[in-house]
Amino acid sequence: MERIYLDNAATTPLDKAVIAEMVKVMEDYYGNPSSIHAQGREVRTLIEKARKSVAHLLNAVPAEIFFTSGGTEADNTAIVCGVSTFNLKHVITSKIEHHAVEHTLDNLLKKGVIDQVSYVDIDEKGNIDYDHLERLLQQHPRSMVSLMHANNELGTLTDIERVGELCEQYDAIYHCDTVQTMGHYVHDVRKLKVHFLACAAHKLHGPKGVGFLYVNHNIKISPLIFGGAQERNMRGGTENVYGIVGLAKAFEIAHDHMEDHRLHIQNLKSYLINRLQAEIPGVLFNGEIDPSKSLYTVLNVSFPEMDMGDMLLFNLDINGISASGGSACSSGSNIGSHVLNEINANATRPSVRFSFSKHNTREELDYVVDKLKHIVEQNINV
């Protein structure tokens, strides 16, 4: 059997239609989009066409879309520049945010740019305590709130609408890391009370090294990267043209087939949950698994305590199965998942994050369960 890829929350394979679109740009469009001659103008047209397409799918206006190098830069820009522009001294977040948020806030606190970071309470499944969030906003009404839409390790969803309403009520600036949910859910920014949204193309079958930041038209922030007048003076540097075109194409495909893909992937996730429960006694799930409260592409599983439990991912890998123990951005770290640590998730058990895409099948999951069952039975503590 060919390798089975179940690490789509880390990155997704490029869609063939996206590759074709990007190759055409690489072969035929080489002008610098800042140049005023014909070759430059035609490349500028490609960028603005992509911006218009992305904006349309978000119900935004093109001027609200700024292309970046990916989700990390988008998150950094929103937080660093939002805090600086509005002279915000207090930020409300959670302790299970992506490191692109967590480490950025740590740095701002260390440098004295902000005075305090408050952490909203979460439960054992990673759900936000909205009453506690409101109490924090009452105490610090002019704050930045940075809470992700779906946790990248657990899949637990946050109610963006509810957070946005609270932020509006207490005059807070709301940044939402939507890297895991762009292309999987409809984000109508005319209905959401949100100031910033982030996207990374490689999470939705687009290219790596490109993303975008949505900035609500009611606010204007200073740049993070200086150097040129690109992105309407918001991000210096020659644009990644074929990346931007690839992002727009991937975003279009995701939206065109969103419901079909959601049904297919949700069925796979439910199928794997049922098979694991039936075949491996004592298996537990981290985060929400209720479809209404959980990102359908992510399933975090804790297996029974076993000998060589820390080798579970390696054993899966040598059996042709690619998965992860948490965020791929933390690979190489020996301190474990900060997300699982925060929710006290089965600390002595080996945990695996399986994340699915439109390409996965039930036959692949049957193979995975069979291999997992064998690995557990061979290593289980008696």
> Which listed residue (81, 176, 199, 329) is catalytic?
329
Within this chain, do residues 250 and 297 fall inside the same structural domain, yes or no? no
The tens digit of pLDDT for each residue in 146-177 reads: 999 999 999 999 999 999 999 999 999 999 99
Q: What local confidence, expressed as pLDDT, does residue 186 receive? A: 97
Q: Return the amino acid letter for 255.
A: H
**Count of C-beta atoms within a 10 Å radius of residue 341:** 14
Query: What pLDDT is attached to residue 314?
Result: 94
| Mean pLDDT for the stretch of residues 5-15 | 98
Mean pLDDT for the chain? 94
Percent of the chain residues topping a pLDDT of 70:
96
Per residue in 356-366, pLDDT (tens digit) is 999 999 999 99
Final residue in a domain of this structure, among 256, 284, 304: 256
Pairing of β 65-68 and β 211-215: antiparallel
Are 291 and 337 members of one domain?
yes
Number of other CB atoms surrounding residue 370 within 10 Å: 13
Banded pLDDT at 346 (limits 50, 70, 90) = low
The predicted-structure confidence for 209-254, as pLDDT tens digits, reads as follows 999 999 999 999 999 999 999 999 999 999 999 999 999 999 999 9
Same domain, 346 and 232: no
Q: pLDDT tier at 331 (50, 70, 90 boundaries)?
A: very low
Percent residues over pLDDT 90 in the chain:
90
User: Do the beta carbons of residue 150 and residue 298 sit within 8 Å?
Assistant: yes
Torsion angle of the four alpha carbons 204, 206, 210, 213, in this order, in degrees rounded to the nearest 10: -40
Q: What is the pLDDT of residue 332?
A: 45
Q: Give the C-alpha separation, 300 to 303, whole Å.
A: 10
Tell whether the model's pLDDT for residue 115 goes beyond 50: yes
User: CA 341, CA 17: separation in Å to the nearest integer?
Assistant: 40
**CATH code at 361?**
3.90.1150.10
CA angle 61, 67, 71 (to 5 degrees): 115
Residue appearing with tokens 């390798």: 3
Whether residues 92 and 28 share a domain: the answer is yes
| CATH for 89 | 3.40.640.10
> Same domain for 246 and 285?
no
Final residue belonging to a domain, choices 204, 225, 256: 256
Contact 326, 287 (CB under 8 A): no
Co-location of 220 and 119 in the same domain: yes
Q: Which of 256, 274, 293 is the last residue of a domain?
A: 256
Residues 46 and 84 in one domain: yes
Does 382 have pLDDT greater than 70? no
Domain that holds residue 294: 4-12+258-379
Residues 32 and 42 in one domain: yes
Catalytic residue at 176? no
187 and 279, same domain (yes or no): no
Per-residue pLDDT of 178-213, as tens digits, reads 999 999 999 999 999 999 999 999 999 999 999 999
Provide the pLDDT confidence category of residue 381 given band limits of 50, 70 and 90: low
Q: For 79, which DSSP code?
A: I
Do 70 and 206 sit in the same domain of this protein? yes
Question: What is the arithmetic mean of pLDDT over 95-108?
Answer: 97
Phi and psi, residue 141, nearest 5°? -65, -35
| Predicted confidence (pLDDT) per residue in 270-320, tens digit | 999 999 999 999 999 999 999 999 999 999 999 998 877 789 999 999 999
Mean pLDDT of 345-356: 86
pLDDT value of position 348: 78
| Whether residue 242 is found in the same domain as residue 285 | no
157 and 182 in a single domain? The answer is yes
Q: In the chain, how many domains are there? A: 2
Indicate the residue type of 258.
M
pLDDT over 80 at 268, yes or no: yes
Q: Where are the beta strands (DSSP E) in the chain?
A: 4-5, 65-68, 90-93, 116-119, 144-146, 173-176, 196-200, 211-215, 284-286, 298-302, 321-322, 351-355
Measured distance CA(285)–CA(300) in Å, rounded: 6
Task: Report the chain's C-alpha Rg in angstroms.
Answer: 21
